Structures are given as structure tokens and as C-alpha cells.
Structure 1
Amino acid sequence: MRRRFRAGLPACGVLLALLSELLPDALSDVIPIDECGTRPVVDEIATGSRIIGGHDAQLGAWPWQVSLQLYNFGVGYVHVCGGSLINHNSVLTAAHCVKKSDPGFWNAVIGMHHLYRYQAHTRKSRVRAILVHSNFDHSTFKNDVALFKLIDSIKFNEYIQPVCLPNGPLPVTNETPCYISGWGNTVEKGRLRDVLQEAQVDIFPSVLCNQIDWYAGIVTKDMFCAGAESGGIDSCQGDSGGPLTCYFPDATKYYLVGITSFGLGCGRPKLPGIYTLTAHYRTWINSQIFLFDRAIDRSISHVLIIWTLWWLTLHNVL
């Protein structure tokens, strides 16, 4: 039976009515401002020793932590890097993590604690697109930032939450608790950990990090150092792209201050990890998400218009 329409309803009105039914309320969300940076199942401030040496994170401790997994023939999907969920379909990570630029080879797993044991709340999504900063320099790790756009829209729950992004420089002091997390090696040239690890780190001023017996000037204004001056507290291979988050009591939220980028060895004295300064890339992040989502919205709208016109023609409405 043909679908009946009110008499006198013009064809364009029918088209708009059908499109309003077909188009979702929001094809993707902007970066959350109010609902971000919280840990619903962990009330207390995190305390821990280090990733190097091993310290298991509590289940649900870092609900924005993402495992980015690359498909290897004969093996399947293997954890390569970490990432941070920043909205329902966007993961922020490091540009140097993109070993393959074809999104079809990648999976993003959110709400995961053990690499090989998924919980009921764990979500997995294929990747729609990978957006790497156009000025990323492989030799210096400058602009080491990338976005993974997911095919699925991830619903937030107690174990899956977006992290807050700073709009500008944040007042990080010696009293600000800051943490890194990931499944990376717990010793230099070691192996990945099965259970998510966490570490509390100190953030060092660039003038100290760039001293001759530290990193001798390679830390730019878009980077910073964090770890322990004496070594032993650090991120390592497999932690790249993952979050360095700091807790700000006035806002009662965690903010993504840094993205795990690179370092000389793991846990060495005066050679802490180097992190991409997230605040310097907020404009880039916003623009990439806006332009990509707008292009997707338009392409879906065009497909729906063509489908609707075909349907109306088939049913002799036009």
C-alpha cells in the first residue's frame, strides 16, 4: 500500500518531512564542556607509583583511556598506542602512532582495563578517518598530534567518559596532581602490560628540561617534560598517544594537559618523557572536528536527499 499524504502538501514539504524523520538529531557531538573529566566509579584522587615498575590502575580509573589497535595479518588486532576519548566519536593521540594511514586497519577500544579481557561496558569501534597534523615532523616530533574519527558513536557510561580539553594554558604547579596511564612496557625494551598501568608524575619547566645534561634544547614551546628527576617513573613504548591528565580541584575535573610523545629510553635519570602540550593545539583540534563532521553531515544529507527523491518518484508523489 502506498503511503498517504495530506492533500495539498507540496512535494518539497514531503521531502522535508521525510528528511526530518531520516536525519538523526545530531550526527556527532562537539567537544563536551560540562560533562567531561570525571571518574564516576573512582571518587578519590589517584595515587600510585609508576608505569615503569608496575602499578595496576583501578577498574574505571581512567574512563577516557583508549587502546588503538592495528591489524596484523596472521595475528589480528594488536595494541599499538594509547589515545584519549574527547567526544562521542573522536580520539586524540600522537601523530607518530599512525603506522598505517588507512583507517580500515585500525580499531579503537574504549572502556578497557585488561588488554585481552573485555568487560560488559567495553566498546570497540572501527575507524572512519585518521587526521594527522599536516606539519608533524618525524625527526623532531614537533606537532605530534592526530585525531582518530570513529565510525560508531560511543555512549558514555560509568566506565567510559570524555576527558576535558584545556582552552588555554592551565595553572599547573608543584601541588597539581598529574598522571599518565597506558599498557606500555614496564621496563625499557620489555613487553606490554596486560592490565592498565598508572603513574603520578612531576611536570618540569622547559628551562630545566633543556639543560645540557637533560635534553639539551630539543624541547620546544609545544612540548613539556614529565616524570621524575631521578628516573624510575615514566611512560614507555606502547604508552605513546596516551593521556597525561591533571586534576584541578576548583573545577573538580581532569584535563588532558599532554599527549605522550617521545623520550630517550624509559625511566632514565634527567631524561623524563616528553609530551605534546594539548593547549597549543585546541584550535587545530576544534577545526579538524568541525570540518570533518560538517563534511560527513553534508554527504549523508546528499545521500538522503537522493534516496528520498527516488522514493517519491517511485511512489508517484512528485
Structure 2
Amino acid sequence: MRWRFRPAADSFWALIVLLSEASLTEGSSEECGTRPALDEMETGTRIIGGQDAQPGAWPWQVSLQIYRLGIGYVHVCGGSLINNNSVLTAAHCARKRMIPDVWRAVIGLHHLYYHRNHTIKSRIRIITIHSDFNKITLEHDIALFTLSKFITYNNYVQPICLPNISLPLNKETTCYISGWGVKRENGSRSQILQVAEVEIIPRKICNSFDWYEGMVSKNYLCAGSESGRVDSCKGDSGGPLMCCFPNDKKFYLVGITSHGYGCGRPRLPGVYVHLAKYRKWVDLKLRSKTTAKCIQHILLFLTMINLPLY
């Protein structure tokens, strides 16, 4: 009996080691924030006030879509791919639609309704919104969508890097927003992914009397322009505020598109979840997700090999 038990035990402990290593790397990537389909960074200061994005320019951009009877899947919000089965978005996108089965994520899109060979579609397995999300003030407006499958990266599908608190943000930081939202307030939605370069606006200025009058908390960033020339709008929610830094060619997910007063109005820029403030929350949710997955794999393994429990 011993000679039959020993290989199973060895296989079991080998599985434990592999799953432990996987849990350490879950949510991270050796390569993130890169754009292999684009040789040069696109320029332009002009999505309200934006321009058509180049195909493959923002390979972590996700379209989160919901199924509607008689219509099919329709775009609801944006999102950002952070690893091979996780998308960060805004909590308010999902608060009325918490059933994962009605959702899907589409990655590697340029035109909303034209899917190419590199486009990846995935159903949603789990929706996790911040437990302290306030639907009235939109405080803690962050959610994690777990895909139903692990996807394979390609030149048009890549994860974006997550920031830490040490990243410097100021007016000189090069930042962009992107999405398929409306191009002007009460306007029509864009079918081509739009992108615009924005300025990070200091919270002290954004909270001044003739701006947001103290309504922007420390968990948020303001980005856009004083004149309102560039801004996010309806349909862009959940999408990325992404920045790159001197001497670093990678892009970081600095913010998540959350809310604002109107669209493109002077001194009322877009308000974005300051992701560095939620890095611990993201890491915790990714770890808990990985732990649950490891337990499932171990139980399945024990069942398959009929490993004695004594």
C-alpha cells in the first residue's frame, strides 16, 4: 500500500508548491503597461475634445457589456485589464446589475461592433464592488470583475500596470483618458475608441470655490482642463486614467473614471478614483480570489487521486 500512496503524496505536495507560487504572482505581470502593437506614442491634446485612438494603442481598454433581450450585448462601461482574468472598473457601473451572467468583457476592441481576430470576449464569473461604496456620493467607486476564463495576451490585449503611492502626479505628468462614451454632453456615443490627453489638476484647485467647492475627497483625482476642453462623459465610466512617467516607458492605471458635473464644462473636470489609495483593496481581493481558486484545485486533486485522509 505504501508504494501506491507515496507518488500521490509527492504529486499532492508538488501541486501545493505550484499553487503557492501562482498565488504570489497573481495580479502581477512581468510585462505590463506596454503597447506592442504601437511603435510610437501617439500625440495630440485633443472622449470630449478627443480623437480616434490608433488600433492597439491602449491594449488594456475593456468594454463591459450587458445582454439585453431583443438587442444583444450593449456597451455600458469601460474597464482596465490588470491581469489575465481581472478587470478594474467603477462600482456604479454594476450596482444595479450584480448578476455576472448578464455581463461580458470585450478586450482588444477599436470599433465597438467590429471584432477582429485578436479581439477576446469573456463572460464574467464574479463581480466584487467595494463594501463601502456610496451610491449617492459615489465614494469608493471601485469594482473588480473576474473573468470566467484566463485569457492569452496578444499585441492588442495587454494588462496595464498598477501604481503605488510613490508615483508623482503633477501638471507635467503625461496622462490620457479613453472610452466609447458620448463626444459631448447629451450627444451621441462614439463607436470608435476615443482618447484625449488630460492634465492632473491639484485637488486644492479642484475643490476651490468656483470649481467643486470641497466635494472631491482625498480618494479622488481631478483630470481634464480648466476650460473643459477635454473630459470624459457618459459611457466612459470605469475606464482608465493612464499615465506614463519620465524614464519609464510603461503606462500605469492612475485613476478610474467615476463622475463629474456635466461634461466638458469649465472648471468642472472629470473626477477619477485615485487608484493608489485602493492598491491594498485590489491586492486583497486578488489574493482572496487566488486562495479560493487554490482550494478548489486542491479539493479536485484529492478527489481525482482518492488520496487517503488518514
TM-score (normalizing by structure 1): 0.90
2:284 to 271, 276, 287: 287
Shift of residue 34 of structure 1?
3.6
Per the alignment, residue 61 of structure 1 pairs with 57
2:259 paired with 1:262: yes
Q: Which runs of 5+ in 1 are unaligned?
A: 1-6, 314-318
Shift of residue 308 of structure 1?
3.1
Give runs of aligned pairs for residues 226-305 of structure 1, distance below 5 A. Answer: 226-305=223-302
Per the alignment, residue 216 of structure 1 pairs with 213
Q: Is this contact kept in 2: 1:32–1:162, CA < 8 A?
A: no
Question: Which residue type is aligned with residue 292 of structure 2?
Answer: A
**Residues 38-47 or 26-35, more deviating:** 26-35
Per the alignment, residue 79 of structure 2 pairs with 83
1:136 to 129, 133, 136: 133
2:90 to 81, 87, 94: 94
**Separation in structure 2 between the aligned mates of residue 170 and residue 282 of structure 1, nearest angstrom:** 12
**Separation in structure 2 between the aligned mates of residue 302 and residue 105 of structure 1, nearest angstrom:** 29
Per the alignment, residue 155 of structure 2 pairs with 158
**Separation in structure 2 between the aligned mates of residue 16 and residue 109 of structure 1, nearest angstrom:** 40
**Separation in structure 2 between the aligned mates of residue 20 and residue 78 of structure 1, nearest angstrom:** 44
Shift of residue 49 of structure 1?
3.9
What do the CA deviations read for 1:143-191 (whole angstroms, capped 9, x no partner)?
1101001111111111111111112141123222100000011011122
**Separation in structure 2 between the aligned mates of residue 33 and residue 296 of structure 1, nearest angstrom:** 18
Shift of residue 17 of structure 1?
3.8
Per the alignment, residue 167 of structure 2 pairs with 170
Give runs of aligned pairs for residues 16-55 of structure 1, distance below 5 A. Answer: 17=11, 29-55=25-51
**Identical-pair percentage:** 52
Question: Which residue type is aligned with residue 211 of structure 2?
Answer: W
Q: How many residue pairs align between the two structures?
A: 306
**Residues 39-48 or 157-166, more deviating:** 39-48
Question: Which residue type is aligned with residue 183 of structure 1?
Answer: W
2:3 paired with 1:9: yes
Per the alignment, residue 4 of structure 1 pairs with none
TM-score (normalizing by structure 2): 0.92
**Separation in structure 2 between the aligned mates of residue 217 and residue 139 of structure 1, nearest angstrom:** 16
**Separation in structure 2 between the aligned mates of residue 191 and residue 71 of structure 1, nearest angstrom:** 20
> Judging changes above 3 Å, is the alpha-carbon distance between structure 1 residues 216 and 169 closer, same or farther for their aligned structure 2 residues?
farther
> Judging changes above 3 Å, is the alpha-carbon distance between structure 1 residues 81 and 194 closer, same or farther for their aligned structure 2 residues?
same
> Where do 4+ consecutive residues of structure 1 move more than 3 Å?
14-21, 23-29
**Separation in structure 2 between the aligned mates of residue 42 and residue 303 of structure 1, nearest angstrom:** 42
Q: Is this contact kept in 1: 2:49–2:196, CA < 8 A?
A: no
**Residues 283-292 or 245-254, more deviating:** 245-254
Cα root mean square deviation, aligned: 2.3
2:178 paired with 1:181: yes
SS state at 2:52 partner: coil
Shift of residue 46 of structure 1?
2.8
Q: Is this contact kept in 1: 2:29–2:83, CA < 8 A?
A: no
Shift of residue 304 of structure 1?
3.1
Q: Is this contact kept in 1: 2:170–2:202, CA < 8 A?
A: no
1:307 to 299, 304, 308: 304
What do the CA deviations read for 1:205-251 (whole angstroms, capped 9, x no partner)?
11110112111111000001111111121000000000000111322
Which structure has the larger Rg? 1
